[in-house]
Structure 1
Amino acid sequence: MFEFSYPWVFVLIMVPFVIYRLPWVYISNRSALRISFKEDIDAINQSKSTISGISRASFWQKVLLGSIYLLVLTALAKPQYIGEPLSKEISQREVLVAIDLSGSMSTMDFKDSNGTSIDRLEAVKMVLGNFFKARSGEKIGLILFGSAAFVQAPFTQDLSALEHLLSELNIGMAGPQTAMGDSIGLAVKMFQDSNVTDRMLIVMSDGDDTGSKVPPLVAAELAEKNGVSIFPIAIGDPKNAGEHPIDTETLKEIAKTTGGKFYYAWNSEELSDIYTQIDKLKPKEVKEITHRPTFDLFMYPLLATMLLLLGYGLLLYIQSSREGK
């Protein structure tokens, strides 16, 4: 579809007609020889093209000037081509995943699709890989915690990069302890810089908080004030709880405080099903943005104007060269 940004410019088309109708008077202060029989001389010479020494434009010159004027007005009106509307869905949800990398995550109480025993971290990586693939269009961040919590990946839509970072995780790379409360506090800080309405934090751990500077429940209250919903996921068989068994009561209280939900995953199937349940419980909100691309076309009438002027100049040059011979 074509349209003009400034269509009112075409009102100026009337200007040459108005100027032509005005009673212009040619006044000269120079002395002139008055010949009473000039009309008779003009008739003899069959030269009506000059009056009082002023040359009149020929028909084609008038057509050229009119065409140039119209082309300049067309360029000033800024013609545009407007393409078909393009729609894009933008997710109004940001998801942070906090993963426990303490030593207890090496417990081999999960099985892969082939029935081979794998450790808890490998099970988390396997399930999260599928989770990331289903999150197209969403912004996802990754937090790791052990003795301290740190950001592994800020919010991004580059899911392939997230999968690559996920594949490089190793047990103990963040220290032997479990700073779950600090990971929640770090997540709240990351969400404070976002402008989305739906903020979700998934905390995956298999042990009790043993090294946080901020208690988990205090961090949960801070998350609730910032509109962050926390979904804690306890990982592993409770029979293999180890020295510091996971405090399910604290995790349930964290979920209740922030409007989330607590889950317990004993095997890979349950862990995969949890993400489906979370999606049903808190479906993704999207905002559709429609945009119609525009392409400016004003350069084409200007190009045509330049070509007409160059062509006319070349024609005059050829004509004067012939007359000179």
Structure 2
Amino acid sequence: MASPKKPTPLSIPLLFLFLITITITSTSAKTFRCSTSGATCQSVVDYLPRNRTTLRAIQSLFSVPDLHSILGANNLPLNTTANDVVPAQQKLRIPFPCICCNGTGVSNGRPVYTVVPGDGLWHIAAEVFSNIVNSTEIQLANGIQNPDLIQVGQNLTIPLPCSCDEVDGEAVVHYGHEVVAGSSIEGIAKQYNVSQETLMQHNSFTGPQDLKAQDIIDVPLKACSSMVSNNSLDYPLLVPSNAYVVTANTCVKCKCNTALNLRLQCEPAGINASCPLIRCDDSPNLLLGNTTSSGCNATTCSYSGYNTTVQTMVDSFSTCPAPPGPGSSATTLNDAWRLGIFINAGLLCLLFV
């Protein structure tokens, strides 16, 4: 029986390239679960540019119609310009519309990328979009039969991962978070104020070993409660902590205030000179965002949406912390204090008997 032939020097690098190709093409898709078919929402995803760039270039790459959306998602000052430089590897959150179909979420219509000379699907996925998606996902999303045959000038839909599912009955903003080397499920959960169980469930993790550096994982961010009516053009207005949105034809800025129990605080944006002075519908002496307080009670002029005009309403709330519930440390201390008084009173009674 003839002994097997040893690989020639040429076959070794060919075999190596073949193994690399298998590794790249078999990378698991970064899909997020999205159970309600046809549901739409707004999501965000991390993007780390490979090279030094500008906000204008990033806005164009991701087909974001309004720069204010990027500024708000990253809590950047409103006076930041499109020409401001973004260093290589600086993480930015990119806002985009999401739609749920076939049990998963995908970006709804944008971004759209136009192929330029020298492009290939792997290059577009890995280097242009920094591995937010992989080449197979782009191929499938655009019905490309042969991944080696794409044309200069061809428009490609880039399927970003997202979800519109509620968490524990509440609407959230699903955030495609890029995992940093050395991260843990516990650390990410604590950083973004979600439970470890939620992270495990929404990413189908079986244990800590499933968390991989540079993977995009689904982090459902709690959103501030708002007074926006369901017939408003920007309903539902979901804003997570450490972010803001500019809405109502750039007349209103709403931010999420964690110090006030995740209440949405809205005020005039101050970037559009044509915006009218916004007074409170139920209390004309109050302007949008103005608050009056007396003791623990506060009244503010809140934003409630817009159609042809900006709508407002008076909102009353408590600024004092809620009293401790049964079993809390404060309750336990108070009970101990009362018990001490009772014992001391009993001892005094015995002394005078």
Determine if the TM-score, normalized by the shorter chain, exceeds 0.5: no
Larger Rg: 1
Counting strand residues as a fraction of each chain, which structure ranks higher? 2
TM-score (norm 1): 0.19
TM-score with structure 2 setting the length:
0.18
Q: Which has the higher contact order (CA 8 A, sep 6+)?
A: 1
Structure with greater proportional helix content: 1
